[in-house]
Amino acid sequence: MPYSPVLVGALLPLILIAPAAPAQHAGVGAPAPAQQAAGAGASNGSAIFAQRCSQCHGDRGQGIASAVTIAGPSLQAEHDAGKVMTAVEWGPSHMPAFSRVLSVLQIHSVSGYVTTQLAIIPLTQGDLGEGGKLFRVYCASCHRTAVRGGALAFTGRNAPALTNKSAALIAGAVRWGPGTMPSFPEPVLSDQQLSSVVRYVKFVQHPPDPGGDPLKYYGPVSEGLAAGAVLMILIGFTGWIEKGEKG
């Protein structure tokens, strides 16, 4: 049956001003309030740290010293959010990677929580000379003056080398004492003294190179023995030439 033009003209305004269709049900389209609250909670750095990180790094980021199980280092001197994000995302050493477990927002959140809430050990410039003296008093007996570590007598263990350790890891280890290492709280080493020790270790890790062969910076005794051995070889070679009248 054909529609009358008059009828169509009368109904058209009603169609145009008809109310819009109701929005999708919260359970189908937009996230429900409960889901939003859960997402906000998952993005909270403190909650993520407690769930994912505290088992290894401690509830306050102080680190967990253990002689049997693999434990995480202290994070209380880690002020670089970029390094924390990289570690969380890719998992250095034996640490698991969370790039497929946590979202970018969650990684940002937990990194910010570590560097702003847990990082309570300040690291200043420190004094290089003072750091060297303190290191020789408290640390060199195990880690050696050249920070290369070594065997600990009568313990069956080795003091680890510090040649590739970050400033935050060194400072955290000094404070909490991983494994058999003793801890050095503030009454023993102040924050300023700790910063000086860290500066000394970083200096020894990358010492100035005046030229020539550094022989891997094994120290004056080893380098002197090597130089003496070369000198004796040259003297013997010179004597052999003179003895054979080939000079």
Helix axes 104-113 and 45-52, enclosed angle (nearest 10): 90
Pick the CATH number of 128-205 from 3.40.50.1580, 1.10.760.10, 3.40.50.300, 3.40.1670.10: 1.10.760.10
CATH 1.10.760.10 residue spans of the chain: 40-118, 128-205
- pLDDT grade for 206, boundaries at 50, 70 and 90: confident
Given a cut of 90, is residue 79 above it in pLDDT? Answer: yes
Phi, psi of 108 (to 5 degrees): -60, -40
Q: What is the mean pLDDT of residues 167-184?
A: 89
The beta strand positions in the chain, using DSSP E, are 150-152, 157-159
First to last CA, the chain: 128
Place 89 in a pLDDT band, splitting at 50, 70 and 90.
very high
The predicted structure's pLDDT at residue 245: 63
On whether the CB atoms of residues 146 and 136 are closer than 8 A, the answer is no
**Residue 12: is it exposed, middle or buried by C-beta count within 10 angstroms (0-12/13-18/19+)?**
exposed
Least Cα distance to 114 among 71, 79, 64, 166 occurs for: 79
Q: Which helix (H) or strand (E) holds 192?
A: helix 191-205
Which listed CATH number (1.20.1510.10, 1.10.760.10, 1.10.8.60, 3.90.1580.10) goes with 40-118?
1.10.760.10
Backbone angles phi, psi at 208, to 5 degrees: -65, 145
- Residue 89 CB contacts under 8 Å (≥ 6 apart), including other chains: 97, 98, 99, 107
Give the least confident one: 63-72, 130-139, 226-235. 63-72
pTM: 0.65
Rounded Cα distance, 197 and 124, in Å? 11
69 pLDDT band, cuts 50/70/90, is low
Residue 233: is its pLDDT beyond 90?
yes
Q: At what angle do helices 128-138 and 191-205 cross, to 10 degrees?
A: 90
236 within 8 A of 169, measured Cβ to Cβ: no
pLDDT digits (tens, 9 = 90+) for 92-124: 878 889 999 999 999 999 999 999 999 999 999
